[in-house]
Structure 1
Amino acid sequence: MSRVAPFSLRLSADERQQLETQAGSMPLGSYIKSVVFASEAPTYRKRKKPPVAEQQLLAEVLVRIGQSRTANNLNQIAKHLNQGTLVVDEELERDLAEALLDVAWMRAKLMQALGTKP
């Protein structure tokens, strides 16, 4: 049986001393494995996978972000605003309105995926 890479565990000096005391003459790694893999070792809840519907909503948001130029457009607007070269015309107003709609849509979908109400 081949072994996988070692597992590292950070302990305080007191924790390490306690483990070494409990292990007695047994090698520390062997002692830890015997405790962790004991049949009476406590079991903890399993990690929950998000429900499929939530994953689909999150996927929709990621797709929309990937297709959208909103982040780049807002960055360019902020750059021109900071430089004092921002020209507010109909195109910019349309871009801002579209960005607001995108952000509102993403917010609603994320809240829906998280199970919260807007």
Structure 2
Amino acid sequence: MSRPAPFSLRLSDDERQQLEAQAGSMPLASYIKSVVFAAEAPKYRRRQKPPVAEQQLLAEVLARLGATRSASNLNQIAKAINQGTLYVDDDLVTDLKRACAEVAWMRATLIQALGIKS
């Protein structure tokens, strides 16, 4: 019968000293197991993932957002403004800032909804 792979846990020096003090003469691994598998150990709910169909739709929206080249287009507009080849009034500045904020919000919200770590 093969044994499962060992479980590794990284602790700071202080955390390890605290565990060793709490374990007393008991082997550290035995102490940790007794605490983790105690009946009163806290139970954590699993994070719910969106249904697969919903996740696929979110992924498609994120892909389409990336395919629109909005970031590139906004960069080209910013370059034209900086070069002075585009007339800019207060209304255009407001619209551009709003568009940038909305695109950034959509991207961040989709990444969060999909559970992707950026």
Q: TM-score with structure 2 length normalisation?
A: 0.56
Distance 2:7 2:83 in 1: 53
The SS at the match of 1:86 is coil
Runs of 4+ in 1 over 4 A off after TM superposition: none
Change (3 A) 1:4 1:71: farther
Confirm whether residue 62 of structure 1 aligns to residue 62 of structure 2.
Answer: yes
Distance 1:56 1:75 in 2: 29
Shift of 1:51: 3.6
Shift of 1:52: 4.3
Out of 7, 10, 14, the residue aligned to residue 9 of structure 2 is 7
Structure 2 counterparts to residues 1-118 of structure 1, below 5 A? 1-4=3-6, 6-10=8-12, 13=14, 15-52=15-52, 54-86=54-86, 107=106
The sequence identity of aligned pairs, in percent, is 63
Change (3 A) 1:33 1:83: farther
Question: For the aligned residues, what is the CA RMSD?
Answer: 3.4
Structure 2 gaps of 5+ residues are 89-94, 114-118
Report the count of equivalent residues: 95
Q: TM-score with structure 1 length normalisation?
A: 0.56
Shift of 1:76: 1.2
The SS at the match of 2:5 is coil
Change (3 A) 1:4 1:22: closer
